Amino acid sequence: MFLTIVLALGQQALFQGGPAGDASPAVATTLRDPNRVIQATLALHIGLANEGTAVLVGNRNGKLLALSANHLFQGKGKEAHATFFGPGDPPKSEKQLMDVDVLDSWPDIDLVLLTVDAPSKFSLPLQLGETRSKPGKLRGTTHTAGCDKGYPYLRPELLIGKVLTTKTSGDVDAFYWEMTDPSIPGRSGGPLVNCDGQIIGICSGTDRKGKGMYIHIDEIRAALKRKGYSELLRR
């Protein structure tokens, strides 16, 4: 698989509030606007297959920008298509496939930035979350979105911790979120969001322990800043 854990920072996320006697408010477990997350989540088609997922994060020069997982494009060319979805149960797909191209990539952390040639009516990007996020700071259930069923659906997930990992094919260390459950094929490139619907990770696969791994928001923000995509970092 893509990752090997070398150091775990933190053990179990705090989802039940503070200790006995703590007057902290009840933790949030409900996603505020699930339809917005659904509408920002795209099914990627690379070749003729439903390969994975992407999530809208902004726009530049009249085109939408989306984040996804770089490994989806390795050895398969850079061109792809995307399906957009509207609200519904299941979400309703648009009939027209939208052209997708790779704008930039960070293979060392398995991240890719895509341009999507789509009308402005689809411009419903999600914000990026804060840096230095830790499991205990989130104090609530996180949610993931992915198109492994052919359409985006959400599921609540628990974080185990922030984990320092190294690629099996190299020596680059990077932070990822380690999840309680394994990721599901087809959800690669999909977002991990907090209860406010802000992106805090991008699905990168499953580690050797069978746990889902998501690129940490600190790595995402640093990668975008290095290559001049500062407009995506504003909140």
| Local mean pLDDT, 10-residue blocks, the chain (235 residues) | 40 32 50 92 82 93 93 77 89 90 94 90 87 64 89 88 68 84 89 93 88 92 94 83
pLDDT at 133: 67
CATH class (in words) of the domain with range 1-235: mainly beta
For residue 220, the surrounding DSSP H or E stretch is helix 217-226
- Strand 92-93 to 98-106 pairing: unpaired
pLDDT at 12: 33
Q: How far apart are CA 26 and CA 100, in angstroms?
A: 42
Q: Hey, where are the domains in the chain?
A: 1-235
pLDDT at 139: 53
- Tokens 């530049």 — which residue? 60
Neighbouring CB atoms inside 10 A of 173's CB total: 13
Question: How many Å separate Cα 123 from the centre of its chain?
Answer: 17
